[in-house]
């Protein structure tokens, strides 16, 4: 404050009874600590906080300030806005997300949606970035691990949390096999590490598990084991005098497709 009278000494003060808390939407039932919340240096006018404020609860506080020169007084209103700090970790709605996809599926295909939230109020600190990572597959044969890593390259998670089967596999065009072929390794379940981080600096993060089940499609014809189609003749030997109803052979075939 300024006073044209050079001989006047100014004194600053706060009206602790005239302070209004502006809560964020949905937090109107929250309570503040008892006043005073601020202090002011009577000579310099420097205002300091006496408590910690939570930006997730309070938007700003309106404070009434006064200045006097022993004869006259002037009042003003001070608005104190609470800036957000990146103090909230993003949280997934579930520890495991499970999706299913047919092995003959074609991109672009949405498999499902994962959900995470961040209680920070600023756009930057509450911005969520999703990612998928491989998980260590202990005990699996190398071919299965390679397929799982290849499958990871065909999946992506967008900013809305949608898990997308994003592109066709070059492996299919080179080998004539489905990108999601579950019959080759007789395995229909794959697990990936699902990550989320916020846009704060430094950022905070958390993780969950994404389970992907590849559903079988009847895309293979039966193959005879016996009688064999590769042999011109398939012999069955009979013993003279065998009783009626005796077993003379067993026909069988392989079915490549996996049925539940």
Q: Are 228 and 234 in contact (CB under 8 A)?
A: yes
Name the most confidently modeled range: 11-20, 86-95, 217-226: 86-95
Q: Which residues contact 49 (CB under 8 A, 6 or more apart)?
A: 37, 38
- Residue 185 domain-assigned (yes or no): yes
Buried b (16+ CB within 10 A) or exposed e, 16-34: eeebebeebeeeeeeeeee
Task: Say yes or no: 105 and 17 in one domain.
Answer: no
Q: Count of domains in the chain? A: 2
pLDDT given for residue 34 in this prediction: 86
Residues 79, 82: Cα–Cα separation, whole Å: 10
Structure tokens given for 72: 């006259």
- Residue 223 domain-assigned (yes or no): no
pLDDT given for residue 62 in this prediction: 95
pLDDT given for residue 74 in this prediction: 93
DSSP annotation string for 27-55? -TT--PPSSP-EEE-TTT--EEESS---T
- Residue 224 domain-assigned (yes or no): no
Task: Say yes or no: 68 and 131 in one domain.
Answer: no
Task: Say yes or no: 73 and 97 in one domain.
Answer: no
Q: The domain containing residue 129 runs over which residues?
A: 91-215
pLDDT, one tens digit per residue, over 189-204 is 889 999 999 999 999 9
Task: Say yes or no: 16 and 38 in one domain.
Answer: yes
pLDDT given for residue 197 in this prediction: 97
Residues 82, 218: Cα–Cα separation, whole Å: 61
Task: Say yes or no: 35 and 106 in one domain.
Answer: no
Structure tokens given for 91: 């949280």
- Residue 116 domain-assigned (yes or no): yes
Residue with the two structure tokens 């309070």 = 58
Task: Say yes or no: 98 and 210 in one domain.
Answer: yes
**Any alpha helices (H) in the chain, and if so which ranges?**
123-126, 142-153, 170-175
Q: Are 50 and 13 in contact (CB under 8 A)?
A: no
Domain of residue 161, CATH code: 2.60.40.60
Compute CA distances 141 → 39, 63, 211, 259, whole Å: 68, 68, 19, 22
Share of the chain above pLDDT 70, in %: 78
- Residue 241 domain-assigned (yes or no): no
The conformation of residue 152, written as its DSSP 8-state character, comes to H
Task: Say yes or no: 122 and 71 in one domain.
Answer: no
Task: Say yes or no: 190 and 170 in one domain.
Answer: yes
- Residue 239 domain-assigned (yes or no): no
Structure tokens given for 177: 């096999």
DSSP annotation string for 58-96? EEEEEEEEEEE-SS-EEEEEEEEEPPP-S----EES-SE
Stronger pLDDT, 29 or 157, i.e. the higher one: 157
pLDDT, one tens digit per residue, over 3-24 is 565 656 899 999 988 888 999 8
Q: Is the pLDDT of residue 49 over 90?
A: yes
What is the pTM for the complete model shown?
0.71
Q: Is the pLDDT of residue 119 over 50?
A: yes
């Amino acid at each position: 404050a300024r006073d044209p009278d050079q001989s006047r000494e100014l004194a600053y003060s706060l009206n602790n009874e005239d302070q209004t808390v502006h809560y964020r939407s949905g937090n109107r039932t929250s309570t503040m600590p008892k006043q005073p919340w601020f202090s002011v240096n009577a000579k310099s006018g420097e205002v300091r906080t006496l408590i910690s404020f939570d930006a997730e609860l309070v938007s700003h506080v309106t404070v009434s300030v006064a200045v006097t020169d022993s004869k006259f007084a002037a009042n003003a209103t001070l608005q104190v806005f609470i800036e957000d700090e990146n103090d909230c970790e993003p949280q997934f709605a579930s520890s495991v997300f499970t999706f299913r996809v047919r092995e003959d599926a074609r991109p672009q295909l949405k498999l499902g949606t994962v959900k995470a939230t961040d209680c920070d109020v600023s756009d930057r600190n509450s911005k969520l970035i999703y990612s998928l990572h491989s998980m260590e597959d202990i005990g699996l044969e190398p071919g299965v691990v390679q397929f799982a890593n290849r499958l990871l390259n065909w999946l992506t998670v967008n900013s809305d949390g949608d898990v997308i089967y994003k592109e066709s596999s070059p492996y299919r065009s080179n080998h004539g096999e489905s990108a999601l072929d579950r019959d080759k390794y007789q395995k229909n379940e794959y697990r990936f590490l699902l990550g989320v981080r916020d846009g704060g600096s430094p950022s905070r993060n958390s993780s969950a598990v994404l389970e992907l089940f590849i559903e079988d499609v009847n895309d293979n014809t039966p193959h005879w084991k016996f009688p064999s189609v590769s042999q011109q003749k398939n012999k069955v030997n009979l013993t003279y005098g065998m009783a009626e109803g005796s077993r003379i052979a067993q026909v069988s075939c392989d079915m490549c497709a996996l049925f539940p």
